[in-house]
Structure 1
Amino acid sequence: MDSYRLWVQAHPFLSAALQFAILGTLGEAVAASLRNRRPSLPCTFPQLLAKAIAWAVLGLVIKAGFVGMKGFTRALVDHHVLPAFLGAGFGWALALSTLTNVFFGPQMMLFHRVEDNLILRRRGFDGMAPALWTLLWFWIPAHTLTFSLPADYQVGLAALWSLALGIILGLRARN
């Protein structure tokens, strides 16, 4: 774990891009395989490579978003807009997760949909309502745990959560 932490510290944006490229793309492939009940890709192989790049870009956006939302949340606590108990420990993790997923999450999801639409040559935003609901039932609890960890592990866990959500949604689509 120490070598992972040192790599993330030395290359925060590269590590975010690579982790999301690998785990986000894997999540899509696993979800497609679960939906189809056999090993499957969610799209053509060239499109999958483009999706890996899109996930990498998303990793950069998420890394920057996490940094920015920490500053935003800290400012709200420091200026007494939020109560002081939200400035540390579980309260901090919950406040940061909630604010991140309410203020940053929807725009990030729309950005990701635009990336997907460009890659897959689709139009529209079908399915965005259920995706946005994941902010409440999945991402706020998941990121509360994420933000309870040291900062060096947070983006990596967020990328793992993307894989986990792909599995959950893939299993749900089977029913």
Structure 2
Amino acid sequence: MKKGDFLWIFLLLIWVAILVIPSSREVFILSTNAHPYIGGFIKFAILASMGDLLGLRIKKGEWIIPKGFIFRAIIWGIIGMMVTLVFTVFMGGAAAAQASNKLPFKGSQLAQAFFGSAIMNLTFGPMMMAFHRFTDLYIDVKYEKKGEKVTIHELVDKNDWHTLVEFSWLKTCPFFWIPAHTIVFLLPSEYRVLVSAFLSIALGLLLAIAKKGGVKNEV
């Protein structure tokens, strides 16, 4: 193991310790409830970025800080804020649909979690993935062109649509995110965004493995 491996594991253990130690867990919950969007931003900016770094570590065999790393972390933070909102919207919407008999199994928490996850990952999920892909691509092209103007037309042409649709939308959405978020939605609400951010680390691992197997793009 390299020095960077120990540092990455140490940072992960800090997050685990925050949740395990009662006093820090209480502060974490109170802070998250008081400032949900700030909390969502911080969780995703740190943990999802750690997932990106882990993916590069596995793919390249060494720790690499990608160009525009801070901007990428900010994008993850914005996604964390979006997730903070849509978790409430889709879980509440699933419950309302069940209560009005538009969805079955009224009163079932498991069914509500599944419906909320499925609807979210079949509607919001693909758009969020496209947003993330194009913002990352913008950062890449901006550094390649060294400050020159980057157009949307250029980004659309450069994007690997086959991988975005065939892998990210048609594989990770139904086979990873829907079951994963079903489990997340069964957790107490104060932990959902955090656990979802942790899942981005697992996804970073899966993406790195997929890339080694021939998949070129990322979520």
TM over 0.5: yes
Report the Cα distance in structure 1 between the residues aligned to 2:53 and 2:85, rounded to whole angstroms. 26
Q: How does 1:1-175 map to 2 (within 5 A)?
A: 1-41=25-65, 43-44=66-67, 47-83=68-104, 85=105, 87-121=107-141, 123-124=155-156, 125-126=159-160, 127-129=163-165, 130-132=167-169, 133-175=171-213
Give the CA RMSD over aligned residues. Answer: 1.5
Q: Is the 8 A contact 1:86 1:95 kept in 2?
A: no
Question: So what's the TM-score if we normalise by structure 1?
Answer: 0.91
Q: Is the 8 A contact 2:91 2:112 kept in 1?
A: no
Q: Is the 8 A contact 1:69 1:96 kept in 2?
A: yes
Report the Cα distance in structure 2 between the residues aligned to 1:172 and 1:12, rounded to whole angstroms. 33
Question: So what's the TM-score if we normalise by structure 2?
Answer: 0.73
Q: Which has the higher contact order (CA 8 A, sep 6+)?
A: 1
Report the alpha carbon displacement of residue 68 of structure 1 after superposing the two structures with TM: 1.5
What letter matches 1:36 in structure 2?
K
Q: Is the 8 A contact 1:21 1:55 kept in 2?
A: yes
Report the Cα distance in structure 1 between the residues aligned to 2:95 and 2:132, rounded to whole angstroms. 27
Q: Which has the larger radius of gyration?
A: 2
Report the alpha carbon displacement of residue 158 of structure 1 after superposing the two structures with TM: 0.6
Residue correspondences, number: 171
Q: Is the 8 A contact 1:94 1:144 kept in 2?
A: yes
5+ residue gaps, structure 1, are none
What letter matches 1:4 in structure 2?
F
5+ residue gaps, structure 2, are 1-24, 142-153, 214-219
Report the Cα distance in structure 2 between the residues aligned to 1:50 and 1:163, rounded to whole angstroms. 18
Aligned-pair identity (%):
31
